[in-house]
Amino acid sequence: LPTRLPLSSRRRRESDEHQAEAAPAPTVAAALDALLRFYGAPARRERRDPVDELVLTILSQNTTDVNSGRAFESLVRTFGPGVQWREAVAGADERDVATAIRCGGLADQKARSIRGALRRLRELYGSITLAPLAALPDDAARVKVLTEMHGVGPKTAACVLLFSMDRPAFPVDTHVHRVITRLGLIPEGCSRERAQELMSAMVPDERKYEGHMLLVQHGRRGICPKVGVKPPTKRRRTKKPTTTSSSSSSRSSGSSSSGNSSSGSSDSECTSKPYAEEVHKLAKHGTERSQKMRKRKTVTSPH
C-alpha cells in the first residue's frame, strides 16, 4: 500500500509549490528608490572622531540612540573632559566604568568591551587613537584591526568606517536586518553578518550611506503601509474562482473604506504622493509573510 508522506515532507513540498508561484522580490535599487521618494534624502550625520564613534557604537548595542547618547555623555563627564576620558577609562576599574554607563543597558558587558578596546589601541599605537587606520591599504585590513577587539563585531566596525572615516561600508543592525528580510532582499534565516556581506556587495558604494540611513529610518517606524515597496509573497491557490473575485472585491471595498477613515492622519498625507496606488502594499504583504512564518513555526509534528 502507498504510504502517506511525513508531515514535514508534505509541508516542504507545499512550500516549494507556493514558492514557484511567489511574486518576485524587489531589487535593492527599487527598494531604496521607493524609500528615498517617501523619506527624502537623509541628512549627513556629524562626523565624530573614530574612537568616539567606536565607543558610542558599542554603547548603542541593544538599546536606543537616546540611551546610548546619555551613557556616552555620562562616561565623558565622569572620566574627564576632551580626550582625557579615554586614558582614564582604560586605567579605571571595570565596575566604575559600568556605573558610569548604567543608563545605556548591559553596563557590565559594555564596560568590559570599551575598556578592552581602549587598552588594545594603546598597545597597538602607543596612544588611544584610530588615526593609523587611514594608512592601511584597504577597508578589509581596517575591519580586521577593529574586529580583533573584544566586543567589536562586523556591524560596529562598519559603523566606524561609514560614519567617522567616510568609507563605503554598509552596517546591518536590527532595524536594517528586519526590513531587508521582510522585503526579500536577503534569504530567510540569513544571519546579520551574512546579510551585511550580501548588502555590501549589492548596494553601490555611492548609495551605502543613503541606503543604510533610509532602512534604519524605515525600520524604526515599523513596516508601514506608506512607502510602496512590495515584498515578495506566496500566492495562495483558491479552489473556487467565485471566492477569488468576491474576496478581491471585498478587499477593494475594505481598502477604499479604510482610506476614507484615515483622512486627516499621516496615511492620508502619503496617499497624495504620485505613487498612491502602491502605498498600502507593504503592510498587507508584510503581514501575510509574517503570519505564514509564524504558522510554519507553530505546526506540531504528528504523534
Catalytic residues: 155
Q: Please, are residues 164 and 158 in contact by the beta-carbon 8 Å criterion?
A: no
Sign for the pseudo-dihedral over CA of 140, 141, 145, 148: positive
Region for 169 from its dihedrals, namely left if φ exceeds 0, alpha if ψ lies in -120 to 50, beta otherwise: beta
Dihedral pair phi/psi, residue 114, rounded to 5°: -65, -50
Tell me which DSSP letter residue 21 carries.
T
Question: Which residues, other chains included, contact 143 with Cβ-Cβ below 8 Å and sequence gap of 6+?
Answer: 154, 157, 158, 161
The C-alpha cell at 285 is 504583504
The C-alpha cell at 280 is 498600502
Helix (H, G, I), strand (E, B) or coil at 239: coil
Region for 40 from its dihedrals, namely left if φ exceeds 0, alpha if ψ lies in -120 to 50, beta otherwise: left
Dihedral pair phi/psi, residue 27, rounded to 5°: -75, 160
Question: Which residues, other chains included, contact 3 with Cβ-Cβ below 8 Å and sequence gap of 6+?
Answer: none
Whole-number Å distance between alpha carbons of 18 and 26: 18
